[in-house]
């Protein structure tokens, strides 16, 4: 197994929120990080923060829903660092909790393209690099509590995250032990995606918070630390797991 300090880590959605925290966490542990996002300014900021602290990272402007863009991500990672040891499929979008009757075909396709198809395509494209050499490759997919229960999103988001959990299990089944695949299932996290929800529906958010044992929502750094653990040798016997980081949301 490759130690984090010697690893090459690709993080999608790396310009903000949980992805940004993952980039910083892995860089802090000595990994070389490839941060991928469509937000060029956000990428510049996070790379500047990494390098200012003496870390190693590059940015790749890329859209995970675009096949050509995905191929560029993998090519640039290999050109710069020679391989890919850890792939964090983190990029995703919400659906504003739209039920099926209010979900347009356009919204459905957009959510599926980014949350699921992009994850699949990037994993498939990166597999040769992840399986290259004697060390196991690691894939960590960002799912959600919505990947296990209803109510954490709308019809499209919940369906996509259930599929992410299933894809993670199948990936582990098909490619273990060469690939060690796991998923992380965050609950309510304070990120750019949830900022509007917090501001526009504070009473509903507070009700959600009070209903969890932790009685708070999480900071993205708390998810990033769990992801780093799953990528590390300390999680060496974890295959196909979906790890809840939800403040106890799912205990009932």
Q: Which residues are catalytic?
A: 157
The enclosing H or E element of 58 equals strand 56-61
CB 139 within 8 A of CB 123: yes
CB 21 within 8 A of CB 245: no
> Quick one: which of 174, 223, 244, 188 has its CA closest to 11?
223
| Cβ neighbours around 195 below 10 Å, total | 11
**Neighbouring residues of 219: CB distance < 8 A, sequence distance ≥ 6:** 21, 189, 190
Angle at 229 between CA 223 and CA 232, to 5 degrees: 145
Question: Per the structure block, which two tokens stand in for 187?
Answer: 């609950």
Helices assigned H by DSSP within the chain: 17-28, 40-52, 67-81, 105-112, 118-130, 155-175, 192-200, 202-210, 220-231
CB 135 within 8 A of CB 178: no
CB 147 within 8 A of CB 162: yes
Question: Per the structure block, which two tokens stand in for 34?
Answer: 């490839």
């Amino acid at each position: 197994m490759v130690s984090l300090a010697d690893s090459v880590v690709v993080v999608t959605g790396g310009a903000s929120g949980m992805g940004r925290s993952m980039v910083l966490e892995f860089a802090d542990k000595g990994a070389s990080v490839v941060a991928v996002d469509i937000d060029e300014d956000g990428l510049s900021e996070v790379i500047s923060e990494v390098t200012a602290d003496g870390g190693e990272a590059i940015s790749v402007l890329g859209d995970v829903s675009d096949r050509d863009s995905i191929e560029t991500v993998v090519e640039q990672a290999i050109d710069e660092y020679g391989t890919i040891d850890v792939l964090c499929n983190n990029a995703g979008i919400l659906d504003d909790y739209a039920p099926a009757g209010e979900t347009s075909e356009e919204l459905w396709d957009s959510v599926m393209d980014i949350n699921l198809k992009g994850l699949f395509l990037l994993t498939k494209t990166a597999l040769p690099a992840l399986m290259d050499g004697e060390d196991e490759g690691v894939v960590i997919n960002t799912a959600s509590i919505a990947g296990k229960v209803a109510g954490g999103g709308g019809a499209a988001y919940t369906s996509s995250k259930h599929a992410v959990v299933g894809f993670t299990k199948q990936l582990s089944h098909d490619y273990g032990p060469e690939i060690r695949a796991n998923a992380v299932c965050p609950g309510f996290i304070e990120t750019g995606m949830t900022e509007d929800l917090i501001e526009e529906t504070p009473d509903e958010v507070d009700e959600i918070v009070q209903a969890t044992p932790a009685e708070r929502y999480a900071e993205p750094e708390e998810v990033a630390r769990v992801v780093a653990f799953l990528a590390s040798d300390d999680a060496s016997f974890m295959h196909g797991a979906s790890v809840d980081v939800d403040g106890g949301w799912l205990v009932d």
